[in-house]
Amino acid sequence: MLMKPDKPVAGWTFKIFQDNTVRITTFVLILTITVFLKQPNFLSMTILIIALALWLMVQYFFRNPDRAVIDEPGLLIGPCDGTVTDITHIKEDQYLHAETIRIGIFLSVFNVHVQRSPLAGEVSLVEHQPGKFLPAFNPDASKENEYIAMRIETDYGTMLIKQISGILARRCINYAQPGDRLLTGQRFGLIKFGSRVELFLPPEAEILVSLGDSVAGGLTKMAQMPKTGSEYES
């Protein structure tokens, strides 16, 4: 098994947002501690507890761990942390116009929110689609919710990734651009406060996960693509 360090795509600004958010909440926490030490009372203690909870939440929810990702020929690895909620044979009519296997992954608010490329390839499309904010664990969210679709041309065929919003997670971010060459496991985007990620693969792909499996971005073996580039069935 070959393991490689991951890195973000060009234009990745999440670290700036992450650092600024941590700085702001840390400043607020220090300020409330100072106020409490000078005027220890019920109100200042309550504000301190709220500030501490906010600081801990930011530290946890906006974590962005470096990982040594799996990199094997034709192997699709986890695009994110979460739980496999559905594996469906479905015709994808908008971007692939073909029969596919769709793997749906639900990201809770407690999962890492960063998404990674499951396999190396060239980005041929990135499109934002406005929509609803249904519960992300609902498969209907794939078509009705707001999402960002990214199509990647790999040496083993074309795949599609969707970042789908939910009730809480109403903002998806994708830093990749058409023409970018993504590496296996490379960080390309995030969904703030979790939600749903979907993979659309050729029907010939060998699925290596099952319903209910917990998956980890860059670490879990999701599927094995055909040895040669596969044409989708229309």
Does residue 158 lie in a domain region?
Answer: yes
For residue 215, what pLDDT is reported?
97
CA atoms within 13 A on the CB side of 36: 17
For residue 117, what pLDDT is reported?
96
3-state secondary structure of 198: strand
CA distances from 96 to 45, 68, 149, 164, 201 (A): 56, 31, 11, 17, 10
For residue 159, what pLDDT is reported?
96
Does residue 105 lie in a domain region?
Answer: yes
Q: Output 94 or 234, whichever has higher pLDDT.
A: 94
For residue 234, what pLDDT is reported?
52
Look at 45-54, 74-83, 134-143, 192-201 and tell me which has the smallest mean pLDDT: 134-143
Angle at 58 between CA 82 and CA 41, to 5 degrees: 135
Phi, psi for residue 29 in degrees, rounded to 5: -65, -45
Dump pLDDT digits (tens) for 107-161. 988 898 899 999 999 999 999 998 787 776 666 777 788 899 999 999 999 999 9
Does residue 162 lie in a domain region?
Answer: yes
Dump pLDDT digits (tens) for 168-200. 666 788 999 999 999 999 999 988 766 899 999
Average confidence (pLDDT) over 64-71: 85
Does residue 219 lie in a domain region?
Answer: yes
Model pTM score? 0.80
Does residue 54 lie in a domain region?
Answer: no
Does residue 23 lie in a domain region?
Answer: no
How far is 33 from 39, CA to CA, in rounded Å? Answer: 10
Does residue 24 lie in a domain region?
Answer: no
Q: At 93, is the pLDDT very low, low, confident or very high (cuts 50, 70, 90)?
A: very high
- Is residue 21 scored above 60 in pLDDT? yes
For residue 3, what pLDDT is reported?
47
Which sequence positions are flagged as catalytic?
195
Question: What is the tally of structural domains in the chain?
Answer: 1
Percent of the chain scoring above 90 in pLDDT:
57
For residue 22, what pLDDT is reported?
76
Does residue 96 lie in a domain region?
Answer: yes
**Rg of the Cα atoms in the chain:** 20
Enclosing domain of residue 130: 73-224
Tell me the CATH number at 194: 2.70.70.10
